[in-house]
Amino acid sequence: MRTVSPTVDHPILNLLQKCKTLNTLKQVHVQMITTGLILHTYPVSRILLLSSTLATLSYTLTIFNQVPSPSIFLYNTLISSLTQKDHLKVALSLYDQILTHPNLKPNNYTYPSLFKAFGAHQWFKHGQALHAHVLKFLHTPYDNFVQASLLNFYARCGRVGIARYFFDQIREPDLATWNSILSAYARNSSVIFVANSSHLDGNTSSSLEVLNLFSHMQKSLVEPSEVTLVALITACAELGALNQGIWAHVYIIRNELSFNHYIGTALITLYANSGSLKFTWQVFHQLPHKDKFCFNAMIRGLAIHGHGHEALDLFEIMKQEGFLPDDVTILAVMCACSHIGLVDEGRKYFESMSSIYGLEPKLEHYCCLVDLLGRAGLVKEAEERVLTIPMKPNAVLWRSLLGAARVHGNLEIGEVALRKLIELEPETSGNYVLLSNMYACMDRWNDAKRVRQLMKDHGIDKMPGSSLVEVDGSLHEFLIGDKSHPYVKDIHLKLEEMNTKLQECGHQPRTREVLFDIEEEEKEDALSYHSEKLAIAFALIASNDSCAPIRIIKNLRVCVDCHSSIKLLALIYRREIIVRDRTRFHHFDHGTCSCLDYW
């Protein structure tokens, strides 16, 4: 076949570009055959591309199969076109033809479309095999084109570390490459809506890396797109980094970027996760086109803030506007019921999944149902649900039951749950801590110490409490008893002041669950150095705005003593304090909490 031809500007090719139907395509195809244009590589590549859009797959393959000796360029053209149309099996068969052809070898343009297709389907093992082929057949496998496709493949399959390796090999990443790595970290960090008390669990380190990478991207002078900003806002949502998230929101407005439902959903999640329901509602109402995901994000935001009735009202509006709920929607409305004790309503929504919407309940829904029942004191019914679900209960389900048993003092069920948890997660400290705290609350100190000794015997350390606080646009992290902060002396002086003021208000430290073999006074001291109290002390001395809310993200459930202390601190210092723990949001203001002590 002739590969060199002065046919790029041939009049017939101009006609080909104007084809809009299969009939006109066939007419031009006939002219290409009668004029001999079909014997040249470039014209064949053009008709193959158009045929894959207007004609059937068999018609396209017929054109290709009539080429006497197709070049690697033609193979690559058709493989790329077929993967875009999701004809992956046919594309792979063409790739096999290349491998068995005596005169052809795959090149840098053969692999990217295949990696893109494997990433979209998350076919990790297939992609690994293809990666081995890259190493085998290409002399220079790591040009930017192939590197970017490998990065994107591993990112889509959740292998962020490998994706980062390929990103670091690219000298001057373009916008698409930046978006791939930022989106990979953002997906890895996303706050996931887990039904075990609707836990807000995310990967903080991945979120911080998104912010770090975005800073480098700005220095590279690559302009962000909507995709970039969705990744950035998602990371800010996980971290509760409100100021950085607001910067992204302002950037979108100033640069007149598309305010689509992807950005809208990300912003709703950001403001909800940062405790700013006013802005959450504002974004929701301003969205020109809402979809199911926007409604889900808004319902979820209301649920985790304890605005259960508003969440259920919005669910009704969502249905009235013609959006069918999915499993995430039902999880959100069940969470809303759980946080305000609407047991009957929560049961009703759970049953509606299969009876009305044809959805199969997942483990997350059973976890949320157990949490709903457990919070309301129906611990025995919660246990029955765990024992009768149609799939094997996981650790999240048993932990929900253990938490309910601890809150309501059902030791028998708590011990059963712990035994199951030790089988499933022998190295997770929180399981042992829940039961030991239950023993402590019942004055069974020997049993509490026995559980702690069991932890020591297995070499398990208690997960340290940590709290993130944003002050004037910067994030600061504190661990329990933290002495590493540059302002440690000022923080501890403020803590002493806070404790004095709490005592003057009649606060009695809740030392029952501090299980060290130390005197009562030392237990009170240990409570004073919980991470959220350190974060509050720092915010009080470092914030330029003495009226701005103090926003804290804690990795564990807030303890009873800190909860009662922060209610008073909000009153004493006349500051709204918003704490996002693993369970929900707590808005402390004027001596009360939005959870009404139901958390």
**pLDDT grade, residue 483 (50/70/90)?**
confident
Question: Amino acid letter at 377?
Answer: G
Mean pLDDT (the chain) is 86
- Return the pLDDT at 406: 79
Q: In angstroms, rounded to a whole number, what is the distance separating the alpha carbons of residues 108 and 145?
A: 7
Q: In angstroms, rounded to a whole number, what is the distance separating the alpha carbons of residues 303 and 298?
A: 9
Burial class for 226, CB neighbours closer than 10 Å (0-12, 13-18, 19+): middle
What is the distance in angstroms between the CA of the first residue and the CA of the last residue of the chain? 74
**Phi-psi map region of 506: left, alpha, beta (phi>0 left; psi -120 to 50 alpha):** left
Q: Which of 364, 63, 372 is nearest to 193 (CA)?
A: 364
Which residues have C-beta within 8 Å of that of residue 416, sequence separation ≥ 6?
Answer: 383
- Return the pLDDT at 169: 86
pLDDT per position as a tens digit, 488-518: 999 999 999 999 999 998 888 765 555 444 3
pLDDT per position as a tens digit, 549-576: 898 988 888 888 889 999 999 999 999 9
**pLDDT grade, residue 527 (50/70/90)?**
low
Q: In angstroms, rounded to a whole number, what is the distance separating the alpha carbons of residues 270 and 258?
A: 18
Q: Classify domain 182-457 at the CATH topology level.
A: 1.25.40
- Return the pLDDT at 199: 46
More confident: 49 or 457: 49
pLDDT per position as a tens digit, 72-89: 999 999 999 999 888 989
What is the DSSP secondary structure assignment for residue 527, as one 8-state letter?
H
Residue 479: in which H helix or E strand, if any? strand 474-479
- Overall residue count recorded for the chain in this entry: 599
pLDDT per position as a tens digit, 398-456: 888 888 887 788 888 988 888 888 888 877 777 788 778 778 777 788 888 888 888 88
- Is a pLDDT exceeding 50 seen at residue 196? no
Q: In angstroms, rounded to a whole number, what is the distance separating the alpha carbons of residues 501 and 562?
A: 15
pLDDT per position as a tens digit, 365-407: 999 999 899 888 899 999 999 999 998 888 888 888 888 887 7
Question: Amino acid letter at 196?
Answer: N
- The average pLDDT across 185-189 equals 82
Tokens of 519: 């005197």
Alpha helices in 425-467 (DSSP H): 429-441, 445-457
- Return the pLDDT at 230: 95
Cβ atoms of 463 and 429 within 8 Å: the answer is yes
- The average pLDDT across 57-62 equals 91
pLDDT per position as a tens digit, 224-273: 999 999 999 999 988 878 888 999 999 999 998 888 999 999 999 999 98
